[in-house]
Amino acid sequence: MRLLVNIDHIATLRNARGEGYPDPVEGARVCEEAGAAGIVFHLRGDRRHIRDEDVRNLKVNVNGILDFEMAATEEMIGICLETDPHLCTLVPEGREELTTEGGLNMEYVFDDYKNRVFPKFKETGIEISLFLDPNPRDIELAHKLGADAIELHTGNFANAASKEAKLKELKRLVKGSELIHEAGMAVNAGHGLNLENLPILIKEVPHLREVSIGHALISQSIYWGLEKTVKAYLSLMDAE
């Protein structure tokens, strides 16, 4: 299983003072040197963290997997095609949200993705991953569209208020992962993952190809340093 580190919040910290540091590209380099398989960034319409020049610099400097997370707007599709990352993860994006709040509603986006979005990626070699809640109907429609991978939204699992709710969500993730795998798509997972809940997820959910982790990892690195924190995640993943 691969660890992809989301470096958005290194840019959040940089932007808080309008200085050139900390540099998300330098952060990406440290993560890769520590053993991360790749880097994720979310270029939002409002550019609240990652900026266009970061994308260009990440493309040149990241050696492993580059995952471009974005909303499927015309603007973002244009930048993504120019950037040519390994993977494009499509997410819903709300202007007021603090972070991505849930998976795509496939019934809602299906026709638009089929007619406008997916044709633009055809024959580009960029893998398309859709960020979904573990709903069988959403997974079925993603498969029908020809998605290469699904990133399962783990936020409800991570933030469940009770043990029962956590277990219930974990079961949904297990079922969702099995459906994705059976349909021949790769299984990714992300949102709200940390050193505490990741071992449970990895132990219970089969077929995971990669996890995408940002906020908790970057936060922990303030105390431990980025290299040590990435290594802690990796050794935890190795142990499971």
Query: Which residues of this chain interact with ligand PXP, rule CB under 6 A?
Result: 6, 8, 42, 69, 89, 91, 99-100, 131, 151, 190-193, 212-216
Residue 42 a catalytic site member: yes
Q: Please report the beta strands in 149-217, taking only residues with DSSP state E, as ranges in sequence order.
A: 149-153, 186-190, 208-213
Structure tokens belonging to residue 233: 């995640």
Structure tokens belonging to residue 144: 């029908």
Q: Rounded to 5 degrees, what angle do the CA atoms 88, 92, 132 make?
A: 75
47: how many CB neighbours lie within 10 A of its CB?
Answer: 12
Phi-psi region of 93 (alpha: psi -120 to 50; beta: other; left: phi over 0): beta
Residue 191 a catalytic site member: yes
Residue 205 CB contacts under 8 Å (≥ 6 apart), including other chains: 152, 170, 173, 174, 177, 187, 189
Q: Which of 32, 93, 191, 210 is catalytic?
A: 191
Structure tokens belonging to residue 32: 């890769």
Distance in angstroms (rounded) separating the CA atoms of residues 133 and 145: 17
Least spacing, CB of residue 110 vs ligand PXP, in Å: 19
Q: Which of 9, 42, 49, 153 is catalytic?
A: 42
In degrees and rounded to multiples of 5, residue 100 shows phi and psi of: -60, 130
Least spacing, CB of residue 62 vs ligand PXP, in Å: 17
Looking at beta carbons only, is 115 or 222 nearer to ligand PXP? 222
Q: Which of 9, 49, 69, 151 is catalytic?
A: 69
Least spacing, CB of residue 74 vs ligand PXP, in Å: 20
Distance in angstroms (rounded) separating the CA atoms of residues 139 and 122: 20
| Residue 22: cis peptide before it, omega within 30 degrees of 0 | yes
Residue 49 a catalytic site member: no
Looking at beta carbons only, is 115 or 216 nearer to ligand PXP? 216
Distance in angstroms (rounded) separating the CA atoms of residues 51 and 44: 8
Active site residue ranges: 42, 69, 191
